[in-house]
């Protein structure tokens, strides 16, 4: 990870929204001109007339979609549902779209680098779900260990790419996101379906109002000439 180019790090700064959010806040960006915050679904589809607003809307939409698809895929996988294949395929398409967003700004190489990094955390959550279904506590612990390693790697990656994203703050926020998505899986596995969907909604709120907005603000602040 440390040997990735600055180009690749900047690419991750654009789109690794699933794993950043919370206290840094969109307030980093002095270009946030919304007079009243609409909900994330409305914000993601409304017309925009500035590049910063476009970036914010795109990240909101793709990252909210990611949470919903990841939740559907893990539930289907836990239940052994034939819908798992379709859910996983849609999640893969979402990853492709996020990677394409990176490539459209930073080039194909950066998009490919992002895709590899982003896909790894999805794989770790699949591992966790499979282990949880089997009652394999050692497998669950290993998946959590891998997710913790991912938190560290992405935190270092993002803080190295963007001076507006302090490593310690980013690590705390990534951990928050991972914990929320893990809660979605755990509650479903325990038969608390209402609790699982509540956790999914909280994850979705974090990924939009905290994650996407934070990243958009940090990117615009870092590259004002582009936005």
* Per-domain boundaries in the chain: 6-28+50-222
**Per-residue pLDDT reduced to its tens digit, 16-32:** 343 333 334 433 443 44
Cβ atoms of 19 and 13 within 8 Å: the answer is no
How confident is the model over 202-226, as a mean pLDDT?
84
**Per-residue pLDDT reduced to its tens digit, 77-118:** 999 999 999 999 999 999 899 888 767 766 687 677 778 888
DSSP conformation letters of 69-125: HHHHHHHHHHHT-TTHHHHHHHHHHHHHHHHHHHHHHH-HHHHHHHHHHHHHHHHHH
**Per-residue pLDDT reduced to its tens digit, 144-157:** 999 999 888 877 77
Percent of the chain with pLDDT over 70: 75
Cα separation, 109 vs 103, in Å, equals 7
Q: What pLDDT score does 14 carry?
A: 41
Please tell me which residue, 81 or 49, carries the higher pLDDT value.
81
């Amino acid at each position: 990870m440390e040997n990735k180019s600055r180009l690749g790090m900047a690419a991750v700064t654009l789109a690794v929204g699933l794993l950043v959010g919370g206290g840094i806040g969109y307030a980093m960006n002095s270009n946030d001109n919304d007079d009243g915050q609409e909900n994330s679904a409305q914000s993601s589809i409304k017309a925009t007339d500035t590049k910063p607003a476009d970036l914010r809307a795109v990240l909101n939409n793709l990252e909210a979609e990611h949470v919903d698809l990841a939740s559907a895929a893990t539930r289907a996988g836990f239940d052994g549902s034939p819908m798992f294949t379709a859910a996983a395929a849609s999640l893969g398409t979402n990853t492709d779209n996020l990677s394409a967003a990176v490539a459209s700004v930073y080039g194909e190489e950066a998009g490919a680098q992002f895709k590899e990094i982003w896909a790894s955390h999805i794989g770790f959550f699949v591992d966790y779900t499979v282990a949880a279904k089997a009652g394999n506590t050692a497998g669950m612990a290993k998946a959590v260990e891998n997710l913790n390693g991912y938190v560290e790697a992405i935190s270092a990656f993002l803080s190295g790419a963007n001076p507006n994203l302090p490593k310690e703050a980013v690590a705390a926020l990534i951990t928050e996101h991972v914990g929320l998505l893990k809660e979605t899986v755990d509650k479903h596995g325990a038969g608390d379906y209402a609790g699982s969907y509540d956790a999914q909604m909280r994850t979705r709120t974090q990924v939009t109002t905290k994650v996407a907005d934070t990243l958009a603000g940090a990117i615009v602040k870092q590259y004002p000439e582009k936005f």
